[in-house]
Amino acid sequence: MKIAVITDSSAYLTEVIKKKDNLFVLDIPVIIDGVSYVEGENLTAKEFYQKMAASSELPKTSQPSVAELEKILSNLPDLGYTHVLGIFLSSGISGFYQNIQYLKDEFEGLTIAFPDSKITSAPLGKMVSDSLMWAEEGLTFEQILNKIEAMAADTTAYILVDDLNHLVKGGRLSNGAAVLGNLLSIKPILYFNDEGVIEVFEKIRTEKKAYKRLADVVAEHVATGNYTVRVLEANAMDKAEVFRTLLEEKGIDSPIEIVPLGSVVGTHLGEGAIACCYTPNV
């Protein structure tokens, strides 16, 4: 058995993981003023936020290429692969998951699974990196798939954004929720629900109170088990450090890494957003 893992560029991956021979990553282009960019090729995260600030309209993203996925799958048997695990951004925020289901039965000699991550960014990256680790350790394909499904069932991210219009125009949040937040000066806490859809979790009057409430919510949940907790920031390191301190004051004793939100996720959250995610260590 030889396992290949495929994901998309919304996943946060370390440089070490990116170099794994059995990892394949589908690009998600970001379009700014009609120009297509791929972070890591012709765009850095810093350049993305600069270009977004200078643009007269919000950036857009397109889905990963189904044709590129087909090409990768077609080539894998010649490379000796027998099993494929494709873990992509949540079905609740992209149609890509639904669009690729037919591919599972199209390639003779390959056992293919596309579990729904119901998430993106750092938690998605953890699912990918853990899958690669488990494959190296010799776990069976079924064991790895079961672990990923268990991770997805108990993973979420909570989000605080400066401008809800990014999410609305990108189709990730209803216009009604944005109007409520913007007109009433409410700072809503957003989250990925059990179906991987972004919804309003609670409506808080001020950002300071929202930070405190979110720290309470995360600390209460992770106290029940063994989790990896990360703070994510969209060119907002100062905010992320403040929030990490709040989490540490709540008694979360595991190291809390601050992770940048790249261009794909940053397009929909906007500059200044922060998020907090937790993923079980299964």
pLDDT tens string 221-264: 999 899 999 999 999 999 999 999 999 999 987 899 999 998 98
Domains delineated in the chain: 3-28+63-153 (3.40.50.10170), 156-280 (3.30.1180.10)
Q: What are the φ and ψ backbone dihedral angles of 116, each rounded to 5 degrees?
A: -80, 115
Q: What angle do CA 123, 129, 135 make, to 5 degrees?
A: 135
Which of 276, 272, 233 lies closest to 252 in space, CA to CA? 276
CB atoms within 10 A of CB 174: 15
Whole-number pLDDT of residue 183: 46
Distance CA(207)–CA(189), nearest Å, equals 10
Contact by Cβ (8 Å): 73, 107: yes
Residue 185 pLDDT greater than 90, yes or no: no
Per residue in 26-72, pLDDT (tens digit) is 999 999 999 999 888 898 888 999 998 898 888 888 889 999 999 99
Name the burial class of residue 15, with classes exposed (0-12), middle (13-18) and buried (19+) by CB atoms within 10 angstroms of its CB: exposed
Residue-by-residue DSSP string for 30-43: EEETTEEE-BTTTB
Which of 155, 117, 119 lies closest to 279 in space, CA to CA? 155
- Encoded amino acid at 183, one letter: L
Tell me the whole-structure pTM to 2 decimals: 0.91
